[in-house]
Amino acid sequence: MSAPFDPQGLLSEQAGYAVAVVLGLGFGFFLERAGFGSARKLTAQFYLYDMAVFKVMFTAIVTAMLGLALLSAIGWLDLGEIFLVPTYLVPQLVGGLLLGVGFVAGGYCPGTSMVGIATGRVDAAVYALGIFAGLAAFAQAYPAIEGFAKSTALGEVTFPDLLGVPFWVVAIPVAVMAYGAFKGAAVLERRFSHLRPR
Protein backbone atom coordinates (compact mmCIF):
# COMPACT_ATOMS: atom_id res chain seq x y z
CA MET A 1 0.00 0.00 0.00
CA SER A 2 1.23 3.46 -0.83
CA ALA A 3 0.08 7.05 -0.41
CA PRO A 4 -1.96 9.10 -0.98
CA PHE A 5 -4.83 6.85 0.11
CA ASP A 6 -8.03 8.68 -0.78
CA PRO A 7 -7.36 9.13 -4.53
CA GLN A 8 -7.18 5.31 -4.78
CA GLY A 9 -10.69 5.02 -3.40
CA LEU A 10 -9.50 3.54 -0.10
CA LEU A 11 -11.70 5.89 1.94
CA SER A 12 -15.47 6.17 1.92
CA GLU A 13 -16.96 9.66 1.66
CA GLN A 14 -17.86 9.53 5.36
CA ALA A 15 -14.36 8.43 6.32
CA GLY A 16 -13.00 11.36 4.31
CA TYR A 17 -15.19 13.75 6.29
CA ALA A 18 -14.05 12.20 9.57
CA VAL A 19 -10.42 12.66 8.51
CA ALA A 20 -11.25 16.28 7.62
CA VAL A 21 -12.62 16.97 11.10
CA VAL A 22 -9.56 15.42 12.78
CA LEU A 23 -7.12 17.30 10.54
CA GLY A 24 -9.15 20.47 11.12
CA LEU A 25 -8.85 20.04 14.89
CA GLY A 26 -5.07 19.98 14.51
CA PHE A 27 -5.10 22.87 12.05
CA GLY A 28 -7.12 25.13 14.37
CA PHE A 29 -5.26 23.98 17.46
CA PHE A 30 -1.79 24.78 16.14
CA LEU A 31 -2.89 28.12 14.62
CA GLU A 32 -4.34 29.15 17.97
CA ARG A 33 -1.28 27.83 19.87
CA ALA A 34 0.82 30.17 17.73
CA GLY A 35 -1.35 33.07 18.94
CA PHE A 36 -3.01 33.52 15.54
CA GLY A 37 -6.46 34.25 16.93
CA SER A 38 -5.18 37.78 17.53
CA ALA A 39 -5.11 40.30 14.68
CA ARG A 40 -2.41 42.30 16.48
CA LYS A 41 -0.14 39.28 16.66
CA LEU A 42 -0.79 38.49 12.99
CA THR A 43 -0.27 42.02 11.66
CA ALA A 44 2.91 42.44 13.73
CA GLN A 45 4.46 40.57 10.79
CA PHE A 46 4.10 43.72 8.69
CA TYR A 47 5.74 45.96 11.31
CA LEU A 48 8.62 43.50 11.73
CA TYR A 49 8.75 43.34 15.53
CA ASP A 50 7.19 39.86 15.65
CA MET A 51 7.58 37.65 12.59
CA ALA A 52 5.66 34.65 13.95
CA VAL A 53 3.46 34.53 10.83
CA PHE A 54 6.48 34.04 8.59
CA LYS A 55 8.12 31.57 10.99
CA VAL A 56 5.03 29.41 11.51
CA MET A 57 4.13 29.44 7.83
CA PHE A 58 7.57 28.52 6.57
CA THR A 59 8.23 25.97 9.28
CA ALA A 60 4.97 24.27 8.29
CA ILE A 61 5.83 24.49 4.58
CA VAL A 62 9.35 23.10 5.09
CA THR A 63 8.11 20.31 7.39
CA ALA A 64 5.44 19.12 4.95
CA MET A 65 7.72 19.65 1.92
CA LEU A 66 10.60 17.61 3.37
CA GLY A 67 8.11 14.92 4.40
CA LEU A 68 6.82 14.75 0.82
CA ALA A 69 10.40 14.71 -0.51
CA LEU A 70 11.36 11.80 1.76
CA LEU A 71 8.21 9.75 1.21
CA SER A 72 8.38 10.17 -2.57
CA ALA A 73 12.14 9.49 -2.69
CA ILE A 74 11.63 6.10 -1.02
CA GLY A 75 8.83 5.40 -3.48
CA TRP A 76 6.03 5.21 -0.93
CA LEU A 77 4.14 8.31 -2.04
CA ASP A 78 3.11 9.29 -5.56
CA LEU A 79 3.39 13.08 -5.79
CA GLY A 80 1.49 13.00 -9.08
CA GLU A 81 -1.64 11.90 -7.21
CA ILE A 82 -1.70 14.98 -4.98
CA PHE A 83 -4.11 17.68 -6.10
CA LEU A 84 -2.41 20.82 -7.42
CA VAL A 85 -4.15 24.15 -7.88
CA PRO A 86 -3.53 25.09 -11.54
CA THR A 87 -1.35 28.13 -12.05
CA TYR A 88 -2.81 31.34 -13.48
CA LEU A 89 0.26 33.48 -13.04
CA VAL A 90 -0.99 37.08 -13.28
CA PRO A 91 -4.38 36.54 -11.56
CA GLN A 92 -2.57 34.80 -8.69
CA LEU A 93 -0.07 37.63 -8.48
CA VAL A 94 -2.84 40.26 -8.37
CA GLY A 95 -4.93 38.12 -6.00
CA GLY A 96 -1.93 37.78 -3.70
CA LEU A 97 -1.37 41.55 -3.66
CA LEU A 98 -5.05 42.06 -2.75
CA LEU A 99 -4.77 39.43 -0.01
CA GLY A 100 -1.78 41.23 1.45
CA VAL A 101 -3.71 44.51 1.53
CA GLY A 102 -6.76 42.78 3.00
CA PHE A 103 -4.55 41.14 5.63
CA VAL A 104 -3.11 44.43 6.93
CA ALA A 105 -6.44 46.29 6.66
CA GLY A 106 -8.61 43.53 8.09
CA GLY A 107 -6.15 41.88 10.46
CA TYR A 108 -6.73 38.26 9.46
CA CYS A 109 -6.70 35.79 6.59
CA PRO A 110 -9.72 33.48 6.09
CA GLY A 111 -8.30 30.61 8.19
CA THR A 112 -7.10 32.78 11.05
CA SER A 113 -10.43 34.66 11.09
CA MET A 114 -12.05 31.32 12.03
CA VAL A 115 -9.54 31.02 14.86
CA GLY A 116 -10.33 34.59 15.90
CA ILE A 117 -14.07 33.95 15.91
CA ALA A 118 -13.61 30.71 17.84
CA THR A 119 -11.74 32.65 20.55
CA GLY A 120 -14.22 35.55 20.77
CA ARG A 121 -12.68 38.22 18.53
CA VAL A 122 -15.52 40.50 17.41
CA ASP A 123 -13.39 42.09 14.68
CA ALA A 124 -12.75 38.61 13.22
CA ALA A 125 -16.51 38.06 12.91
CA VAL A 126 -16.94 41.42 11.15
CA TYR A 127 -13.99 40.56 8.93
CA ALA A 128 -15.70 37.27 7.99
CA LEU A 129 -18.83 39.22 6.97
CA GLY A 130 -16.53 41.29 4.76
CA ILE A 131 -15.21 38.09 3.13
CA PHE A 132 -18.78 37.09 2.26
CA ALA A 133 -19.37 40.53 0.74
CA GLY A 134 -16.17 40.21 -1.29
CA LEU A 135 -17.05 36.73 -2.52
CA ALA A 136 -20.54 37.88 -3.51
CA ALA A 137 -19.14 40.90 -5.35
CA PHE A 138 -16.60 38.73 -7.18
CA ALA A 139 -19.27 36.23 -8.25
CA GLN A 140 -21.54 39.04 -9.45
CA ALA A 141 -18.72 40.66 -11.43
CA TYR A 142 -17.33 37.37 -12.73
CA PRO A 143 -18.70 37.54 -16.31
CA ALA A 144 -16.81 40.83 -16.74
CA ILE A 145 -13.50 39.59 -15.30
CA GLU A 146 -13.55 35.95 -16.39
CA GLY A 147 -11.13 36.65 -19.22
CA PHE A 148 -8.56 38.07 -16.82
CA ALA A 149 -9.18 35.42 -14.14
CA LYS A 150 -8.31 32.68 -16.64
CA SER A 151 -5.37 34.43 -18.25
CA THR A 152 -1.70 33.34 -18.16
CA ALA A 153 -2.76 29.74 -17.50
CA LEU A 154 0.21 27.41 -17.06
CA GLY A 155 -1.74 24.38 -15.85
CA GLU A 156 -0.71 22.19 -12.92
CA VAL A 157 2.97 22.95 -12.64
CA THR A 158 5.60 22.83 -9.89
CA PHE A 159 9.18 24.11 -9.85
CA PRO A 160 10.56 20.53 -10.04
CA ASP A 161 8.33 20.00 -13.12
CA LEU A 162 9.58 23.23 -14.64
CA LEU A 163 13.23 22.30 -14.07
CA GLY A 164 12.75 18.62 -14.90
CA VAL A 165 14.34 17.45 -11.63
CA PRO A 166 13.14 15.25 -8.74
CA PHE A 167 11.16 16.96 -5.96
CA TRP A 168 13.94 16.77 -3.37
CA VAL A 169 16.42 18.60 -5.64
CA VAL A 170 14.32 21.75 -5.21
CA ALA A 171 13.03 20.96 -1.71
CA ILE A 172 16.44 20.84 -0.04
CA PRO A 173 17.65 24.27 -1.28
CA VAL A 174 14.27 25.75 -0.33
CA ALA A 175 14.67 24.36 3.20
CA VAL A 176 18.18 25.84 3.43
CA MET A 177 16.88 29.20 2.21
CA ALA A 178 14.11 29.09 4.81
CA TYR A 179 16.70 28.47 7.52
CA GLY A 180 18.61 31.55 6.37
CA ALA A 181 15.38 33.56 6.32
CA PHE A 182 14.63 32.52 9.92
CA LYS A 183 18.02 33.92 10.95
CA GLY A 184 17.19 37.12 9.05
CA ALA A 185 13.80 37.34 10.76
CA ALA A 186 15.47 37.29 14.18
CA VAL A 187 17.70 40.21 13.14
CA LEU A 188 14.69 42.24 11.95
CA GLU A 189 12.75 41.50 15.13
CA ARG A 190 15.62 42.88 17.21
CA ARG A 191 15.90 45.99 15.06
CA PHE A 192 12.18 46.77 15.28
CA SER A 193 11.60 45.59 18.86
CA HIS A 194 10.78 49.19 19.93
CA LEU A 195 7.44 48.87 18.07
CA ARG A 196 6.29 45.99 20.27
CA PRO A 197 3.31 47.05 22.42
CA ARG A 198 4.29 47.90 26.06
**Which member of 12, 73, 133, 187 binds another protein (CB under 8 A)?**
133
Residue 129 to residue 135: CA distance in whole angstroms: 10
Are 172 and 73 spatial neighbours (Cβ–Cβ below 8 Å)?
no
| Contact pattern from residue 136 through residue 175 relative to another protein, giving x for each residue in contact according to CB under 8 A and a dash for the rest | xxxxx-xx-xx--x----x--xxxx-x----x--xx--x-
Nearest in space to 108 (alpha carbons), one of 40, 176, 194: 40
Under rule CB under 8 A, residue 4 binds another protein:
yes
**Which member of 12, 73, 74, 113 binds another protein (CB under 8 A)?**
113
CB of 95 to another protein, least distance (A): 3
87 forms beta bridges with 155
Residue 194 to residue 192: CA distance in whole angstroms: 5
Q: Decide whether 159 or 184 has the Cβ nearer to another protein.
A: 159
CB of 155 to another protein, least distance (A): 10
Under rule CB under 8 A, residue 189 binds another protein:
no
- Residue list 47-76, contact with another protein (CB under 8 A): 47, 52, 54-65, 67-68, 71
**Which member of 1, 73, 74, 98 binds another protein (CB under 8 A)?**
98
Under rule CB under 8 A, residue 45 binds another protein:
yes
CB of 72 to another protein, least distance (A): 10
- # residues contacting another protein (CB under 8 A): 129
Q: Phi and psi (nearest 5°) for 109?
A: -115, 170
Residue 73 to residue 84: CA distance in whole angstroms: 19
Nearest in space to 192 (alpha carbons), one of 41, 45, 40, 39: 45
Residue 29 to residue 22: CA distance in whole angstroms: 11
Helix axes 13-33, 110-118, angle to 10 degrees: 80
**Which member of 1, 12, 75, 118 binds another protein (CB under 8 A)?**
118
